[in-house]
Amino acid sequence: MASDITDRSSLTRFAWLSIIAAILTIGLKAAAYFLTKSVGLLSDAMESLINLAGAIMALSMLTIAARPPDEDHPYGHSKAEYFSSGLEGSLIVIAAVSIGYAAIERLIYPRPLEQIGLGLIISVFASLINLGVALILLKAARQYNSITLKANANHLFTDVWTSAGVLIGVGLVVLTGWNPLDSIVALIVAGNIIWTGFRIVRQSIHGLMDTAWEATDQQRLLELLKPYVESGIDYHALRTRQAGARRFVSIHILVPGEWTVDRGHLLLEQIEADIRDNFSNVTVFTHLEPLENPVSWKDVNLDRGES
């Protein structure tokens, strides 16, 4: 077994960036709402509150995930990231329900908007802040393979789209004079937010269920093992799983029974090194078996006691 785990303690700086952005946008969007009395802008401000809660949760879970393995957690703490993304997805759905409630109430009891120009300028500025931070977080999520940063970035992108929808709604109200448009756009925005939250929660559940690697990465792994098979050895019981930023591979390697233990061990070291060189943050488990022994070919199930 071997591992190559990147130090992830530095990722908390991205969570702090998200927290600061959320505080700034809450103030700006709240000001825009009080100026205009737009339920759409109110929905925008409410989602920024959820952004703040999600960013704080992200900071907590990234801090935990960065802890090294210990006796109680020998495989590390990286799965903590799934709790953050799962909670953030749930918070997004709660925000959408609140937005929908406010929009329906305003649809039943419409009221004219006020000081629209200044309110829209403030809202646009807040959206640009979110867009810039979302792009930074998404780049970091891809670089460090962090589901927490990815969920946070997607949440901020949702906020940007929400703001765009709200601005369109308010603009249509100005052009048409029909106040219900503000509430209708807010309802559409709420539906989009619910879909985003559902996708984030689903991804977190998959992670907690020890989902296998993506198909493209599994194919890369098979291609890496192909030269070994062509040289006369074989393998089976190949399994992969993802746990936060960490990846795991387990595989049984079958070699001629006449090989010495030393020769077999050197082969396993080479295979493990090849896998680590081609995949980041991966821990490899290998098991050596004799190629000619029929028992070796029965030992392919997840539970070794199964036949």
Domain boundary, last residue among 164, 188, 208: 208
**133 occurs within a structural domain:** yes
pLDDT at 116: 64
Instruction: Give residues with Cβ within 8 angstroms of 262, minimum separation 6.
Output: none
pLDDT at 307: 46
- What total number of domains does the chain contain? 2
**3 occurs within a structural domain:** no
Instruction: Give residues with Cβ within 8 angstroms of 130, minimum separation 6.
Output: 21, 25, 51, 156, 159, 160, 163
pLDDT at 85: 72
CB 148 within 8 A of CB 83: no
Q: Looking at the structure, do residues 166 and 235 belong to the same domain, yes or no?
A: no
Give the structural domain span for 275: 215-298
- Name the DSSP letter for residue 211: P
CB 137 within 8 A of CB 237: no
Q: For residue 42, which phi and psi values (nearest 5 degrees)? A: -65, -45
> And the tokens for 23?
């505080």
Q: Which pTM does this prediction carry?
A: 0.62
Whole-angstrom CA distances from 105 to 42, 112, 150 are 13, 14, 34
For the chain, list residues with pLDDT below 70: 1-8, 38-41, 43-44, 47, 106, 110-117, 166, 207, 244-245, 299-307
**131 occurs within a structural domain:** yes
Q: b vs e for 67-87, b when ≥16 Cβ sit within 10 Å of the residue's Cβ?
A: eeeeeeeeebbbbbbbbbbbb
CATH number of the domain residue 278 falls in:
3.30.70.1350
Instruction: Give residues with Cβ within 8 angstroms of 166, minimum separation 6.
Output: 38, 40, 41, 43, 44, 123, 185, 186, 189
**86 occurs within a structural domain:** yes
Domain boundary, last residue among 208, 240, 263: 208
Q: How many other CB atoms are there within 10 angstroms of residue 104's CB atom?
A: 15
**2 occurs within a structural domain:** no
* CA gap 102, 42 in Å, rounded: 9
Instruction: Give residues with Cβ within 8 angstroms of 32, minimum separation 6.
Output: 38, 41, 44, 45, 118, 119, 120, 122, 123, 126
Instruction: Give residues with Cβ within 8 angstroms of 125, minimum separation 6.
Output: 28
Residue 287 C-beta-side C-alpha neighbours within 13 Å: 14
Q: Looking at the structure, do residues 66 and 112 belong to the same domain, yes or no?
A: yes
Q: Looking at the structure, do residues 199 and 262 belong to the same domain, yes or no?
A: no
Alpha-carbon 252 to chain mean position: 31
* CA gap 231, 240 in Å, rounded: 23
